[in-house]
Amino acid sequence: MRESDFVVRYGGEEFVILFRETEAHTAYDKVEAIRGTIGNLAISVPGAGNAIEFTVSADIAIYPIDGSVAQVLLDCADQRLLQAKQSGRNRVVTGDWTA
């Protein structure tokens, strides 16, 4: 993460990351790296037996391609996150701009 990036918790288990002045493919690479890093974590909990493993379902919405106001971008991101979860989780979903 760069000092210019902005991370907030949004909802119960959701986070929003704002990558300022970042190309779509670079944002995708960053989110995939985050997903991979978290996927490689195994946290031991005393008395629980097995370590806890994590997965990340994520999406990318790009300004102004996917919307030019915050609520439209968040709605787009929410739809893509639902798609990621319905597609089996542990993946990053993007728009047509990556084709």
Q: Which residues are catalytic?
A: 13
Question: Which residue is associated with the tokens 């990340």?
Answer: 56
95 near 60, Cβ under 8 Å? yes
Cα–Cα distance measured from residue 98 to residue 40, given in angstroms and rounded to the nearest whole number: 26
